[in-house]
Chains A and B, each alone.
Chain A
Amino acid sequence: MNSSLETMDLAAAIRSGGLKREQALSSLYNVTGLFFKIKQMVTNHGGNEEDARDVFHEGIITLDRKIRRDEYEDRGTIESYLFGVCRFIWSNQQRKNKRVELKDDFTPYDQSTGENPLDTMLNNEGQNLVANLFDQLGENCSKILSLWKLSYSMNEIAEEMGLPSGDNARKHKFRCYQKLLGLIDNSPELATNLKNLGQ
């Protein structure tokens, strides 16, 4: 597959959620030569193939999140954006590890500096917090709310979850959401994040 994906279409597909998002991410994942390029960047700067794979995956996750949160700026191709994100991630990691520092400045991707509460949640400690919270929420509720957040329609959610109707899915979603709010209320660790929000 050539690497000239139509940025807008792919970004739009990710943004629209549902199956289109999955297909778009899958296409992006398999862009010929993209991983190779990222691997070269990582291995030329002190990393190995495993580091490259991690960086590549983190890059896709970040790109997906940026697009879904309307924080993605359409400048150039989506592959070059993803490459920039990966470069930033690796540079950041290297800086933390104090092993090698990438000499070239990377400017196109300066939005994700770990400042917002979500980025904080995505660090290692935060990941455990999120994982525990959704464990408590339960598999079904986690899935229903994720599908809702990914813009699946209520009918699609019903189909996916084996529920009788869209209305029924809506009721389930609301109950699950209330349960999530309850868990937030009872989580002291999340209180800090709550305080930071809106400041």
Chain B
Amino acid sequence: MNTSEYTEKLMALANKELFGDEKMQLEKEIQENPVLAEEFKKHLLAQELLDAFISQDLKKKLSAFPLPQEKPESSGAVIKKLNPSRYKWTIAASVALILGVSSYLYIGNEFSYQHLADNYVPQMQEVRGTNMVADDILEKASSYISNNKSEMAIPLLTSITSDDDRFFIGQLLLGNAYYQTDNFSAASNAFIQSSKSGDEEVKYQGQYGFLLCELKLKSWSEENQRLLIELSKNEFFIYKNEAEALLQKLKIAKYFN
């Protein structure tokens, strides 16, 4: 092997990318050759330095994050701040369980689909905009919904056209607004639109909102069930645990509907 080849191999070994015979062979050579052993130490140090650099980089990123929500919410409307590094202008509304998973362990024997969905109400995440036009609309609408004035949010949100890049978030908010005003069919349509978003978080929340509307509308289907199962297993869906809990509840509910 020439020097470059040795460098490649030592680099791979130090980064734990070498396996099997190739790894054993090189380790043997390192043991038998003090010069190579000394060279390998340098590669190990390079890896340590990279690790340290990655940690420093993460530290910088974390410093730019807002501190997370402090207490588990148990009731009422919830305002959440989003990570601004991810959502530069934005926000999302999320349909989530406000009463908390534990609360509906005590709801008695009311297993109707509608009753199950009653335990879920729109949970708002705060809008932090920089675009003074559409973002203002989102921010205002978000505030209306959080203050149970969804009827005032609806005209604002319907004014966001489909060619606007905030359309999907707007639809997610709109779904929440309609949901809050008990217009589940309109909410369902808005959630379906938001579930077409390229932003996975908006998409999953749109899907979840749609499923809750389906419960409200007593239109639960096998397909809905499959989607809920997917969401309940999706590590990157922020309300995965709620979806999981709802799924468990539905297992019982199917005997009552």
Binding site for B on A (CB under 8 A): 1-4, 6, 9-10, 13, 23-27, 29-36, 39, 53, 56-58, 60-61, 64-65, 68-69, 117-118, 121-122, 126-127, 130-131, 133-134, 142, 145-146, 148-150, 174, 177-178, 180-181, 184-185, 190, 193-194, 197-198
Contact = CB atoms under 8 A, between A and B. Distances in A.
B52 A185 contact: no
A130 B62 contact: no
A174 B55 CA distance: 22
A1 B54 contact: no
A180 B57 contact: no
Given A2-B101, A126-B52, A184-B46, A25 B242 contact: no
Nearest to B80: A30
Contacts of A134: 49, 53
Contacts, number: 137
Interface stretch (B64-72, B149-157, B219-227): B64-72
Could you say which of B37, B47, B49 has the most chain A C-beta atoms within 10 Å of its C-beta? B49
Interface string B1-27: 000100110010001000000000000
Interface size of B as a range: 35 or more
Contacts of A25: 58
Contacts of B238: 1, 27, 30
B165 interface: no
Contacts of B48: 117-118, 121, 193, 197
B59 A61 contact: yes
B38 to A, nearest CB: 9
Residue in B47, B69, B101 whose Cβ sees the most chain A Cβ within 10 Å: B69
